[in-house]
Amino acid sequence: MRSFIAAVRFLTRLPMPGAATTAVDLPWAIAWFPLIGALINAAIAGIAVGLLTWWPAPIAVLLAVVAGLLLTGGFHEDAASDAADGLGGGVDNERVLAIRFLGLLLLIDINPMMAVVIFSFAGAWGRWSAGPWLRFLPPLSDGLSKDINREPQHGPWICATMFVVGMSMGCWYLPYPQLWVSIMMPLIVTVVWGCYLWRRLGGQSGDLLGAGNVLVEASVLLVALAR
């Protein structure tokens, strides 16, 4: 339970009961990342769908994205923009948020209820991707990524993998074939981003992990939106 609380505190701004999280709690927090990622995105998409009763889709999605920022503190968006600046990409927070806004808006336009499922699916795979990078890439500096990797072990990210695989198998029964095909994208992007970080920088950091999470999530949405 301490690892679950640590994961919630790490990925959201929700107040959690119990003692303060320490570095000892962080390695196994990875096992909970996909579940929490799925719940975060399900909440964002669910808010958007609920607000369709009162507002048109663009306004509903905008308000839902703002709610998501309050929920997470813009954790991954900040990381993605900082990483892009460091790597010479020049991507700011607004462009990162635009990807999420457009992805959710297009999903709702296709099918509001499926939007919740697909968006949570993307959130689960996006947070899962941190596990392999933390396990196989050395930290570049002191920080949370180093604390999480202080005792390298396979168990946490294997548990995380079992969750996303189980979730993906469940999607087989949904009338949305693109979702099954999109399973390949997180694996490809995870390998490509990991190889890029290894060759260019020799390791990972918190900002680079956050940027990778955004890339993986965007890749799932890109394939899911294909017609």
Q: Which residue ranges make up each domain of the chain?
A: 40-224
What pLDDT does residue 100 have?
Answer: 66
pLDDT score, position 97: 65
Name the DSSP class of 53.
T
Specify the pLDDT at position 227: 65
Q: In this predicted structure, what is the pLDDT of residue 124? A: 93
> Whole-model pTM?
0.86
26: helix, coil or strand? Answer: coil
How confident is the model at residue 73, as a pLDDT?
74
Ranges of the chain whose pLDDT falls below 50: 80, 85, 90-91
Q: Residue 30 CA to chain centroid, in angstroms?
A: 12
Give the whole-angstrom CA distance, residue 225 versus residue 172. Answer: 17
